[in-house]
Structure 1
Amino acid sequence: MLRWLIAILFLANLVALALASGMAGPLPASGPREPHHLERQVHPEWLKTRPISEAEAAEQPVIGGPDPVPKVAAAPLGD
């Protein structure tokens, strides 16, 4: 019984290897999926950068700052 299971799994792996290597033709992901994608790209010369104002900077999250102190009162338990 176990020999048949091993043989079936071995054959399934061979079939998967053959399909993945392109034996049955190219994979769907290897071809162009969106032929007009390059025509719809944003032109880099249209982009302009500007510094953010103080008001906009206040809304930005601080990365790497200290953790906020929890607003929970805690006291040691009495014995």
Structure 2
Amino acid sequence: MLRWLIAILFLANLIAFGLASGMFGPLPASGPREPYHLERQVHPEWLKTRPISEADAAEQPVIGGPDPTPAIAAAPLGR
């Protein structure tokens, strides 16, 4: 009984590997999902980027920096 279960699981793994590697052809979801998306844009040349101002940059988190110290007062508990 256990041998058949192992054989079925091994066969299922082989089939899953074949599907994932494209052995049976491309998957339907692997194609472009919106092939005409760029052609349907209205005035894409109007899109402009601008640098962040100093005020907006202060609100951005600093990644990789130290954690800010919390403003919590701590005191030992009395018994």
Q: Distance in 1 between matches of 2:35 and 2:57?
A: 42
Q: Which runs of 5+ in 1 are unaligned?
A: none
What's 1:69 paired with?
70
What's 1:8 paired with?
8
Give 2:48's aligned amino acid: K
1:12-67 deviation line (CA, Å, top 9, x unaligned): 11221222233433212321211212214573x4333334555x437623423651
Q: Distance in 2 between matches of 1:23 and 1:62?
A: 45
Q: What is the identity percentage for the equivalent residue pairs of Structure 1 and Structure 2? A: 71
RMSD (Å), alpha carbons: 3.1
Q: TM-score, normalised by structure 1?
A: 0.60
Q: TM-score, normalised by structure 2?
A: 0.60
Aligned structure 1 segments of 4 or more residues deviating by more than 6 angstroms: none
Q: Distance in 1 between matches of 2:57 and 2:30?
A: 44
Q: Distance in 2 between matches of 1:62 and 1:26?
A: 41
Give 2:12's aligned amino acid: A
Say how many residue pairs are matched: 76
Q: Distance in 1 between matches of 2:13 and 2:57?
A: 56
